[in-house]
Amino acid sequence: MMRSLFFGRLQKCISKTVWFSRMLCSAMLLLVSVNVSASSTGLVVTGLGGNDAYAEQFSAQGKIIVDALRSLDDSQAAPAASDSNENFMLLQAENATRDSIVSAIEKLGAKSSSAFYLILIGHGTVDAETWRFNLTGDDLTTEDLVAALATVNAEQQLVLVGTSASGALLDVLNQPGRLVVTATKSAGELNAVRFPEYLAKAMETTVADTDRNEILTLAEVYRYTNEQTQKYYENQKLLASEHARILGDSAERLPLARLGSLRSAKDDPVVAELLAKRLVLEDEFLAIKAKKPDMPIVDYYEELESVLLSIARLQQEIDVATGWVGSNE
Amino acid sequence: MRQGGWAVMSKTFFPIWQLYVKLRLCVSVSLLLGLFVSAPVQALTVFYGDDRHPDLQKCDQFAYVGQQTEANECYQRLGNHSEVLVQANAAAALGNVREANRHFRQASSDSNDPIIKTNWASLYLLTHQVSDAVSLYREALVIEPSFLPARLGMIEATMQTYEGRAREELRAILAEFPDNVHALMLQARIELELQNTDVARDILAKAKPLLEANGLPKLDYYTLQAGANLLEAKPIDSWVDQALADNPIYGDIYSSVAHYYIITYRYREAVDLYKKAVALNPQLAIAQRDLGINYLRINNVFGARYHIRKAFELDPFDAETVNTLRFLDKLDFMRVSVVDVPDKDNPDRTIGRVIIRLDREDADALEPYVQDLSIKAMQVFSERYQFQLKRPMIVELYHDHDDFGVRTVSTPGIGLLGVTFGYLTAMDSPKARPAGDFHWGSTLWHEIAHVFTLEATNHLLPRWFSEGLSVYEEWNTGPLVDRSIPIDTLIAIAKNDLLPIDTLDAGFVRPTYNGQVQVSYTQAGLICDFISSEWGHDALVVMLNAFAERASTSEALQQAIGIDGPAFDLLFNQHIETLYGDFSRSLDDFQVANRQMSRAVRTADWVSVAVLARNVIDRAPERVGDGNAYEVLANALREQNDNEGAVAVLLDWHERGGHGVDALRWLVRQLREQERFDEAAGIMDSINWVNPYVVEEHRWLGDYYLSKEQSKLAVREYDALLGLQPEDPAEALLGKARASLLDGEDELARRQVLYALEHAPFLRSAQKLLLEFNEGERVD
């Protein structure tokens, strides 16, 4: 009961389409446990660079992102990090065409996964008719995306468009159960974006994992990426020409990557069992935190300490099982 | 002795007249609608001109002697006067501004007589709308270019904006009309403003028989005489008695005279006079306002609020009143912290208290630094000036520059960085300006030095000495060692434009060329530095004490170093010649060398850039501020892949006071890569005095100090970091826990570990610490 009340409040907070009240929401975002044991599929696409520097950047970013997503893959069909992984595909360079993308979305979308991820990195443009993702051959348009995504079955979906002018897609891609992230707030932000650079950094390292549970959520990644992007412009003393946006509910519940020892031990049944126990404790921890405003402060920290001790002890077991070492932190 | 000016200590060298132009514009814009609604109660106006209608003059006579009821009845009877202009002036005298304005407009549409425009302009002056008044005076002068009342009115208007041309225009008028009593009274006011009391008294002596011969009241005469007495530290009672004998409710005799305390920084004494003014006549809106504003300057917020509200009730359209009232509301939301400052040598003994008031938005980030610097400053200055503050020192930093403006001069849009009103010092926080725009630590040090020098002398030291000591302390004891001499000062040296020490205050309060205020700051600093180097710092303390005893500059010099002003000037000029003579005369060559360097930068010819930059540095190694050659040289070396060389150049530059944030950040990265952590920490620490809002710097420094077991510094950094509200506060909280452990405060450490885990429940190092606490094991 407590948790559902809490989530109701949290979802209300986040579903305000954009995070204008970032601080308020972010304080609450930490109070959510994430189950990574569900099945998922995804497609990462990098578009045309236009020059060598962009082409190299997009290619590297795409690889990092898909590798991170593959850490979620529990299937034994192919090695998780392999390019032949059928649940998480990467399309780049000449392989990334309009038809191949549409086809891949339809193929992955048809699978019975609980979560589906689509991440586009590259240059976007707009004209009077549509937004376009710059590709070899025909560009991918808004209409292509809408039609292809309509075939996706997964309950949870993420469409993350890290391109210029991507804000044009915000409303049109908005659907129940789908989170939409764009690197710009509107079609009018046309300069090449830096958002994917920090997105890749967030997914490659532990910097964005603020609760240190070794599970990166979209909320954590978005918060970090957005903050670093804005800092870039501040540090360069430039007017920011991109303002990322997020639309949809429960970004804090959508995992984007397993990290560290959890990643390497994800197929271990012992670890899975311990993680299930941890999930229970996390819920308990969150329930206490949710009661904080209504509790005497001394009682609150007493209760919190008790559950934190349990978590710490359990975490020691998990760390032994996963081979976690101090340097991971 | 003192040649003060405005009652602030500016750090930005902003020309004072520009400040007042800004003030004027702001006031007139914000009061545009006031004229049509308000009926303010103003100071008594004496009408000197012979252009006033006899029927009005009869009523004026009642007002002059304080028979206000009779005066009002008289003015009311003129409401049906046959002349619209008389109706307008009568309504104005009654405070019926809207009605007066309507009559003036009607009179103006019916006639082209310049007196209508002139009287109408006076109504605008009365309601603080100076620019509109000026427009009407101009219209009158278009109709009749030599129309004396309009010319005098224009001078009154420009005097309100403190523009220097009023004095010159008045001289021209008096050359033409030497017995014009209105012009004489205005001239006496200007001379008193400049603290030329002898000149003012001569003028007043000439005006007195003219006032008597024309049957005019001597109320302004008494006020100005009292002002002269006050400036000469003589009692004002006799003038007050005479004024009150003529008009028992003439509160202006106190409030107008208080102005001369304000321009000599003596706010507490000014408050006493304003209190007498409002006690005598509580309807004096401006006196109520000024009492409130000056209460605020001495940190009596309660008193300030009471009298500003009174002023608002009397005149709700006075911009300064409204601004201050709004500011008071904001003041309530600022965070106040109190620090008792221990004696440096005997920590159990307290030498003073600092009250720090900060905007809540950046209080957490700034407070540790402000506390740190305030404590150090109080310890240093107490010792160096052998003076202990007798009251708490109040330090305020504003993250909104306009709040700072209202706090200091009741008006937003000012061009200052810091202001000291005795025990209270206020300044922009680093957030009030673009990141890295100014060295806020140095500014705060400068202002706190003022607190000591002002209070040690009961505000009796001349402006040049107060500014000089603050600049000298910035150079010698402050957090920034940069002492590069501004180009304007070098030009002044080359042109022999430095002022004699006896008249150096004039450079601050009535500059005669662009940039002279800045030149005077530097000259004053150089003088203090010279005295200290030749006769020791104690000589400066002797001078300070001499000023406290009302000595002149020459007298203070005699006491301290045995020579008078002119003799000192000879020595000082020789000293300056030795230090800067050659360089100041070769400035053209220096600037040519700079231009050559810039051209080479534009063509990316880095080998040439390096050679030319070294040449510029050799010519003036102390020039480390904006546009310095060190950063250019370092960049040229980096372009040639000589990072080692660039590091060496930037270390030298930093040692000399270079504080450009971007270059220092690069330097820190290099030093960290080379594992020169101690040097990196020193530089990173110095960056925070320019831009304290970078999470990474505080985090790294906190960890560094922790590794060195310097728990207090570590906590300062973690607190500053947490003040920036980082997305990930857990590490900082854990750092604080470890610092608490170092200090043996285990229980506090345990709580801080819980705070850390509350944010990041899986932070292993915090978990480990929590487990160790519960297992009763002390953590190493």
DSSP codes of every residue in B30-51: HTTTGGGT-----PPPP---TT
pLDDT at residue A326, as a whole number:
63
Q: Cβ A301–B760 below 8 Å, yes or no?
A: no
- Crossing angle for the helix pair B516-535 and B553-561, to the nearest 10 degrees: 20
B760 chain-A contacts, CB cut-off 8 A: 30, 210-212
Least Cα distance to A304 among B754, B770, B747 occurs for: B754
Contacts (Cβ under 8 Å, ≥6 apart) of B420: B8, B9, B426, B447, B450, B451, B454
pLDDT at residue B121, as a whole number:
93
Residue with tokens 């610490």: B769
A212 chain-B contacts, CB cut-off 8 A: 730, 760-764
Q: Above 80 in pLDDT, residue B27?
A: no
Chain A and chain B share a number of CB contacts under 8 A equal to 68
Q: Which pLDDT tens digit goes with each residue over B363-392?
A: 888 998 999 999 999 999 999 999 999 999
Q: Which residue of A has its CA nearest to B661?
A: A235
- The neighbour count for residue B727, using CB atoms within 10 Å, is 19
Question: What confidence tier does A272 reach under pLDDT thresholds 50, 70, 90?
Answer: confident
Q: Quick check: helix, strand or coil at residue B217?
A: coil
Give the integer Cα–Cα distance in Å for B315 and A256.
Answer: 63
Q: Which residue of B has its CA nearest to A222?
A: B727
Q: With an 8 Å Cβ cutoff, is B333 touching chain A?
A: no
β-pairing verdict for A156-162 and A178-182:
parallel
Q: Cβ B762–A319 below 8 Å, yes or no?
A: no
Q: Which pLDDT tens digit goes with each residue over A160-198?
A: 999 999 999 999 999 999 999 999 999 999 999 999 999
Residue with tokens 């970013």: A61
Q: Cβ A315–B764 below 8 Å, yes or no?
A: yes
pLDDT at residue B365, as a whole number:
84
Q: Which of B30-34, B124-128, B285-289 has the lowest mean pLDDT?
A: B30-34
Q: Cβ A301–B751 below 8 Å, yes or no?
A: yes
Residues 418-447 of B with CB under 8 A from A: 434-435
Interface probe with B: pick from A31, A281, A305, A319, most Cβ of B within 10 Å: A305
Q: Cβ A309–B771 below 8 Å, yes or no?
A: yes
Q: Cβ A211–B765 below 8 Å, yes or no?
A: no
- Nearest chain B Cα distance for residue A136, angstroms: 37
Q: Above 90 in pLDDT, residue B724?
A: no
- Nearest chain B Cα distance for residue A325, angstroms: 10
A325 chain-B contacts, CB cut-off 8 A: none
What is the sign, positive or negative, of the torsion defined by CA atoms of B491, B495, B496, B502? negative
pLDDT at residue B643, as a whole number:
94
Spans of all domains in chain A: 2-258, 268-328
Q: Above 80 in pLDDT, residue B203?
A: yes
Burial of B537 (0-12, 13-18, 19+ CB in 10 A): middle
In Å, what is the CA distance from B476 to each residue of A196, B483, B623? 49, 9, 17
Question: Between A26, A211, A224, which is nearest B762 by CB?
Answer: A211
Question: Between A30, A210, A309, which is nearest B770 by CB?
Answer: A309
Q: Above 70 in pLDDT, residue A17?
A: no
What is the sign, positive or negative, of the torsion defined by CA atoms of A262, A267, A271, A273? positive
Q: Above 90 in pLDDT, residue B528?
A: yes
B727 chain-A contacts, CB cut-off 8 A: 26, 210, 223-224, 227
Question: What confidence tier does B538 reach under pLDDT thresholds 50, 70, 90?
Answer: very high
Question: What confidence tier does A82 reach under pLDDT thresholds 50, 70, 90?
Answer: low
Q: What percent of chain A has pLDDT over 70?
A: 83
Give the integer Cα–Cα distance in Å for B670 and B656.
Answer: 19
Question: What confidence tier does A7 reach under pLDDT thresholds 50, 70, 90?
Answer: very low
pLDDT at residue A15, as a whole number:
32
Q: With an 8 Å Cβ cutoff, is B767 touching chain A?
A: yes
Give the integer Cα–Cα distance in Å for A101 and B505.
Answer: 77
Most confident region among A31-45, A260-274, B339-353, B522-536 by mean pLDDT: B522-536
In Å, what is the CA distance from A256 to each residue of A67, A220, B86? 10, 9, 83
Mean pLDDT along residues B691-700: 86
Average per-residue pLDDT for chain B: 88
Mean pLDDT along residues A140-144: 95
- How many alpha carbons lie under 13 Å from residue A9 in its C-beta half-sphere? 14
- Nearest chain B Cα distance for residue A287, angstroms: 12
Q: Cβ A210–B730 below 8 Å, yes or no?
A: yes
Question: What confidence tier does B415 reach under pLDDT thresholds 50, 70, 90?
Answer: low
Least Cα distance to B736 among B715, B755, B707, B706 occurs for: B715
Q: Rounded to 5 degrees, what are φ and ψ at B739?
A: -65, -40
Contacts (Cβ under 8 Å, ≥6 apart) of B493: B576, B580, B581, B584
DSSP one-letter code for A157: E
Question: Between A23, A30, A224, which is nearest B725 by CB?
Answer: A23
Q: Cβ B754–A308 below 8 Å, yes or no?
A: yes
Question: What confidence tier does A83 reach under pLDDT thresholds 50, 70, 90?
Answer: low
Q: Which pLDDT tens digit goes with each residue over A300-314?
A: 999 999 999 999 999
Q: Above 90 in pLDDT, residue B663?
A: yes
Question: Between A212, A237, A289, which is nearest B762 by CB?
Answer: A212
Q: Cβ B727–A223 below 8 Å, yes or no?
A: yes
Interface probe with B: pick from A28, A211, A212, most Cβ of B within 10 Å: A212
pLDDT at residue B42, as a whole number:
58
Q: Cβ A311–B725 below 8 Å, yes or no?
A: no
CATH code of A2-258, in short, is 3.40.50.1460
DSSP one-letter code for B484: P
Q: Above 70 in pLDDT, residue B779?
A: no
Q: Quick check: helix, strand or coil at residue A174?
A: coil
A26 chain-B contacts, CB cut-off 8 A: 727
Give the integer Cα–Cα distance in Å for B313 and B708.
Answer: 60
Alpha carbon dihedral B370, B375, B381, B384, in 10-degree steps, equals -140
B763 chain-A contacts, CB cut-off 8 A: 212, 329
Tell me the sheet residues that pair with A89. Answer: A43
Mean pLDDT along residues A21-35: 41
Q: Which of A12-21, A209-218, B641-650 has the lowest mean pLDDT?
A: A12-21
Mean pLDDT along residues B612-629: 92
Token readout for B602 is: 């534009």
B776 chain-A contacts, CB cut-off 8 A: none
What domains lie within chain B, and their CATH numbers? 32-162 (1.25.40.10), 318-456 (3.40.30.160)
In Å, what is the CA distance from A149 to each residue of A103, A108, A171, A180, A250? 11, 10, 14, 12, 19
Question: What confidence tier does B1 reach under pLDDT thresholds 50, 70, 90?
Answer: very low
